[in-house]
């Protein structure tokens, strides 16, 4: 049990009280970080294409449609991965879902690195998407089910932190590999095997989700894990609350996700997922080279901008982790929608003028997104669904997220080619206005509520 057993001793003096329960933040943080390594894989594959694309375009002769398809292929795999994740995590457990995601990503990273033509590369990237899609569902869901309510926002945000760490490190490695010749992209994508192997090893030490264990009828094992998290009284109360929330049929069913009692939460989850992607920020991550080329940046400077983007993303995500359980989910989402609307309009004007100053407004947009929509969307999706359908409902919401990502990344190079690089940012500004209205009128604050209390927040019961 290595890291997990040592964590409580390391922070024994940090044990905290929450009402009558005595929590162990070291143990909670340790298992959350291990689970969140799935987010690192997400960040890696998300960012690696930006550095590899200039080399892939030269080697395989991609036009703008093929460029968009090669980028969006990850999302197509993610959609399938979400479906698999919902079924596997509900039937066999969250832990086995994380292990399968890590194994798939390990295999696909090596497969991409040794691709000898564009077709093989795209198929391998699709396979990587399956692993990323599974991790994007199971990692935040697992953390939400492990963490007590007063820590849940920060702990789920760890998943977003590992995503941005993955983006930053990958962008930096891409920059270091920029002069390694036409096959530099093979090293870029192949290095994904390293974090996926570490993730696979780490998951072996994780306990199973106590909420899944109760659902599977193993109350004793669930109580043992909950006892390590918050003591015996917390374990007894939580097991009782979980059992009460698991009324009716607990068998995995996607039909149950669309029942009248669950549908309001599902609509909110889908809306948040679509907004997070169609707000447009991910084109800055995936098409950094194309955007900055349009304002006169050299390839070397383009790769350097990717490093700056990753650094800003990382710093602002740390700010979000500090604030998500203090300010609340809804205020951060509203601030993000307003901030991105303004910064997109500024960026579009500067890009239209061909001004290098667009790099500053886009960096600011990255910062606003990293503090708001990026982590908070994952927090909300992980916590708003009832216990009995959480796995399937989370999968549906994350499928919507990846469909939106596929649409976004496929259409950008086509729009940029035909209408100019600046035009899509006007469109994204409109999306942010619509997103603001959706959050204001449809999303309810979830800060400080237990997952069992959440059953009634969005259903109105």
Question: What is the pTM (predicted TM-score) of this model?
Answer: 0.73
pLDDT digits (tens, 9 = 90+) for 182-193: 888 899 999 999
Note the pLDDT of residue 24.
78
Backbone angles phi, psi at 247, to 5 degrees: -85, 150
The superfamily CATH assigns to domain 19-206+247-456 is MFS general substrate transporter like domains (1.20.1250.20)
Q: Can you read off the two tokens belonging to residue 440?
A: 């204001």
Domain chopping of the chain, boundaries: 19-206+247-456
Mean per-residue pLDDT over the chain, rounded: 83
pLDDT digits (tens, 9 = 90+) for 194-203: 999 999 999 9
How far is C-alpha 350 from the geometric centre of its chain's CA atoms? Answer: 30
Whether the Cβ atoms of residue 432 and residue 424 lie closer than 8 Å to each other: no
DSSP string, 38-62: HHHHHHHHHHHHHHHHHHHHHHH--
Angle between helices 373-383 and 263-278 (to 10 degrees): 160
Rounded to whole angstroms, the maximal C-alpha distance in the chain is: 65
**CA angle centred on 99, ends 96 and 100, rounded to 5°:** 90
Whether the Cβ atoms of residue 452 and residue 242 lie closer than 8 Å to each other: yes
**CA angle centred on 282, ends 102 and 137, rounded to 5°:** 35
pLDDT digits (tens, 9 = 90+) for 202-228: 999 899 998 889 888 888 899 998 888
pLDDT digits (tens, 9 = 90+) for 241-282: 888 776 654 555 667 778 887 888 899 999 999 999 999 998
Whether the Cβ atoms of residue 190 and residue 113 lie closer than 8 Å to each other: yes
Note the pLDDT of residue 56.
84
């Amino acid at each position: 049990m290595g890291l997990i057993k040592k964590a409580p001793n390391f922070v024994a003096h940090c044990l905290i009280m929450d009402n009558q329960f005595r929590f162990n933040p070291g143990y909670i943080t340790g298992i959350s970080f291990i689970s969140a390594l799935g987010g690192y894989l997400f960040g890696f594959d998300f960012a690696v294409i930006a550095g590899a694309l200039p080399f892939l375009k030269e080697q395989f002769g991609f036009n703008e449609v093929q460029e968009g398809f090669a980028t969006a292929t990850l999302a197509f795999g993610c959609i399938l991965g979400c479906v698999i994740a919902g079924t596997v995590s509900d039937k066999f457990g969250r832990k086995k879902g994380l292990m399968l995601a890590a194994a798939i990503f390990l295999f696909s990273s090596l497969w991409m690195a040794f691709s000898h033509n564009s077709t093989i590369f795209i198929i391998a990237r699709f396979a990587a998407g399956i692993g990323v899609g599974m991790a994007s569902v199971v990692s935040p869901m697992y953390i939400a089910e492990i963490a007590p309510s007063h820590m849940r926002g920060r702990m789920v945000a760890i998943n977003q932190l590992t995503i941005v760490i993955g983006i930053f490190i990958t962008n930096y490695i891409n920059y270091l590999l920029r002069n390694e010749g036409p096959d530099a992209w093979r090293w870029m994508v192949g290095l994904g095997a390293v974090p996926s192997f570490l993730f696979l090893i780490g998951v072996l030490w994780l306990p199973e989700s106590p909420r899944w264990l109760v659902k599977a009828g193993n109350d004793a094992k669930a109580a043992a894990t909950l006892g390590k998290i918050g003591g015996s009284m917390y374990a007894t109360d939580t097991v009782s609350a979980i059992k009460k929330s698991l009324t009716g049929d607990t068998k995995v069913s996607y039909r149950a996700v669309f029942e009248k009692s669950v549908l309001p939460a599902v609509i909110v989850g889908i809306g948040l997922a679509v907004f997070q992607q169609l707000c447009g920020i991910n084109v800055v991550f995936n098409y950094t080279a194309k955007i900055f080329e349009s304002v006169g940046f050299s390839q070397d400077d383009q790769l350097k901008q990717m490093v700056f983007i990753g650094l800003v993303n990382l710093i602002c995500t740390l700010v979000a982790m500090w604030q998500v359980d203090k300010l609340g989910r809804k205020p951060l989402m509203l601030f993000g929608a307003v901030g991105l609307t303004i910064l997109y309009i500024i960026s579009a004007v500067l890009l239209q003028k061909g001004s290098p100053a667009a790099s500053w407004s886009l960096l600011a947009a990255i910062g606003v997104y990293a503090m708001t929509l990026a982590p908070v969307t994952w927090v909300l999706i992980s916590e708003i669904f009832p216990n009995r359908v959480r796995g399937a409902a989370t999968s549906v919401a994350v499928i919507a997220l990846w469909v939106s990502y596929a649409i976004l990344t496929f259409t950008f190079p086509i729009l940029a080619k035909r209408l100019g690089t600046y035009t899509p940012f006007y469109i994204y500004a409109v999306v942010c206005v619509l997103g603001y209205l959706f959050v204001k009128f449809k999303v309810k604050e979830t800060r400080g509520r237990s997952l069992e209390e959440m059953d009634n927040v969005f259903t109105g019961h």
